Structure 1
């Protein structure tokens, strides 16, 4: 059997990322059984490719982030005390499949290839979403329900519709993912990945600008307050990273101190003018029912504070306590709409401490990856490139979203967290990391100290 070509690996990576961020598209199109078959097939292919290409050898256990390993072990061990063991088994299988996909992305792709694959998957989702909504608006002209689902004669809540045929009425549109918040967040991530590629000339200029326009248009048509908030926080972090790059190593602590002050002032301002801010985004005082959900979940978490109720990933609506834990307008919610609260509920304070450690350590490494100078093959610093900003910006967006959504624990959100946690750890001490410069540009960017060292060596 021949090893897969790099092109095949990249195509597989795009399919993986597309499926992770557009899982609802597959579930709405081919049903749950078709989706599970697709995921099983992709997981099998990934396992075979990693074995045939000996990618497992890059993943020595002692090199992986300890907090990630311990968090995974705690989730697996929670089966012993889970209140819903059957749902925990399903949740662990889903988490394992997602983690396997993430590890393949880490080992098979360089940083430029990873950002390129993510950018391609996100733009595919945006492009198909616009096309889907356009077809519904022009030809179907009525809301569309998912295929292979029989709702009988019951009144179907709006949240169940795949598309609500709202493109020509100004939105909110839901795209192929069937959820405006998910689609809007995909647009936010696309703005980061395509923007970085454009800045480093890793993508054709006209094509990149066109996708940026599409992403902005989708973001406007979804009218998602959570995604807009995440975008604003990510934009602020972009400014901080640029400032830290210019400030140099000795002054970066002052930059972080300034960020802390601004964050504190922002929290005070949001607390004081929360109702006015919500009114601007057309949100109710209870954040579309989130306050009630948080209260209910916190009450249950307090009953099992140390180790939680057991890992479940997405909530299982067919078992207690999820069957009536968060129901709004006929819709049973499948998450706590807060990743941190969800972890406390499922894995207790112990799991929450590990999760906080995982996120903070990953963000710390991506911060230094963004602001420090990369190294050449001799270990000397060369000029920074826009690509190194991407992990920190994408992780910032995930963290911002995690306070109102739990998607950092599942599918695309969890995959990106694992990718950044593992890849930033494995590449932490690497020199001459492929950053998309090409050999000619790397040589052109060699520091004066490197040239001096080479000259001195040649005279000996």
Structure 2
């Protein structure tokens, strides 16, 4: 079955869709269905890892990843909420097992193809969904299965944040934002950014390479992904676009440099450009925030961060205990942060969340994991291909995939906590494992 192309494509697409658009499953079919599906996929993933046990092992896994997982598991002994920590560890291991199975079982080309198909489906169905809501229903749409613990009885009083769709497709040239099947504009916008990365790499790949697409349809989907980013109006995604574009330009310049001295010049100029950009952001932050449509408190994030920092300082070394996404029924999450009448289940900053849950020790370990993955992804993208001395050096576009995915996630981590759950953690694990194994294609 491992060699069956239909099984390989079907399994990879189902896992990738569940990681990327898990909200769609939960909003449409409920948490019980979502839980059963993820457990079933995890059993299959574990079986695939068992079949390939000779190809991987503890020694083949990145040390920072193993250290981080060990620290998270150990935190149950000092956790303020041991039951929530046990649940958080369960969901974390589900993500890690599926991610490692994807990393070990599939090549980068296969993952590129699977991502391309899944993201086309998510974007296409999301646009049709919003068109149906605005063109046929002409009213806000509640999820079929809502968020646990939320009272959905009074329709008029339900915050827009809890709506599956806010019926704003025809108002996108005003203040409207579309949310798609994932029910969240920021999430849909980030998936559209991932789609831009994937579709661009597919277009840049040779037609003979797996995962490549026809130029006509590839261009159509690339335009739709870019349009979706514009219609979600996410400031976080806008910054991620800038970050990804900057890293891509630097990587391409390094690739074109023929000598070590040339590469040093590119690196030096890049450091100066980054320093100038950071300085400009600090000096003109008020104007830039206004341009991005953000308030001075970053849409309430500063207040959330202040509360999380206060909690982190109470347990600075090892934190309050691992939980990943906050559990709404456990203290202190039950009444920690509310925004627009909605209980918040994350710190809206991955690094503060890790510091709060696992303390300074956990933050250092997690930073080592992300940093090592970034360094290896960079080497993966810019190292010269191993060719015969007299052969032309031709880089493959697909070697940029892990770097650009990780850069997008790191930028997102400054305003969201996705890097420690669902697709964020999964892609971090995939990149860390595959670059550790030195798999280039």
Q: Tell me the TM-score normalized by structure 1.
A: 0.90
- Name which of 89, 92, 98 aligns with 1:92: 89
1:160 aligns to what?
162
1:126 aligns to what?
123
CA contact (8 A) 2:2 2:8 kept: no
1:278 aligns to what?
289
CA distance in 2, matches of 1:393, 1:7: 28
2:223 is the alignment partner of 1:221: no
Shift in Å, 1:3: 4.8
Give the length in aligned residue pairs: 427
- Name which of 178, 181, 184 aligns with 1:176: 181
2:353 aligns to what?
342
CA distance in 1, matches of 2:271, 2:245: 16
CA distance in 2, matches of 1:17, 1:148: 22
Shift in Å, 1:323: 1.4
1:17 aligns to what?
16
Q: Which shifted more, 245-254 or 133-142? A: 245-254
SS in 2 for 1:57: coil
1:374 aligns to what?
385
- Name which of 390, 398, 402 aligns with 2:409: 398
Shift in Å, 1:259: 2.2
CA distance in 2, matches of 1:4, 1:239: 38
2:47 is the alignment partner of 1:48: yes
- Structure 2 matches for 1:259-278, cutoff 5 A? 259-278=270-289
2:215 is the alignment partner of 1:205: yes
SS in 2 for 1:182: helix
CA contact (8 A) 1:311 1:347 kept: yes
SS in 2 for 1:207: helix
CA distance in 2, matches of 1:73, 1:389: 30
CA contact (8 A) 1:375 1:381 kept: no
CA distance in 1, matches of 2:427, 2:258: 28
1:441 aligns to what?
none
What are the ranges of 5 or more consecutive residues in structure 1 without an aligned counterpart? 436-460
CA distance in 1, matches of 2:3, 2:106: 13
1:266-308 superposed Cα distances (whole Å, 9 cap, x missing partner): 1211111111111112211000000111111011001111000
SS in 1 for 2:404: helix
CA contact (8 A) 2:26 2:145 kept: no
1:315-338 superposed Cα distances (whole Å, 9 cap, x missing partner): 111111111222112111111111
CA contact (8 A) 1:106 1:423 kept: yes
CA contact (8 A) 1:308 1:348 kept: yes
CA distance in 2, matches of 1:211, 1:364: 31
User: How has the CA–CA distance of structure 1 residues 324 and 256 changed in structure 2, closer, same or farther, with 3 Å as cutoff?
Assistant: farther
- Name which of 50, 53, 58 aligns with 2:55: 58
- Structure 1: which 4+ aligned runs deviate by more than 4 Å? none
1:75 aligns to what?
72
What are the ranges of 5 or more consecutive residues in structure 2 without an aligned counterpart? none
User: How has the CA–CA distance of structure 1 residues 377 and 17 changed in structure 2, closer, same or farther, with 3 Å as cutoff?
Assistant: farther
- Structure 2 matches for 1:244-393, cutoff 5 A? 244-248=254-258, 250-251=260-261, 252-375=263-386, 382-393=393-404
- Structure 2 matches for 1:392-431, cutoff 5 A? 392-427=403-438
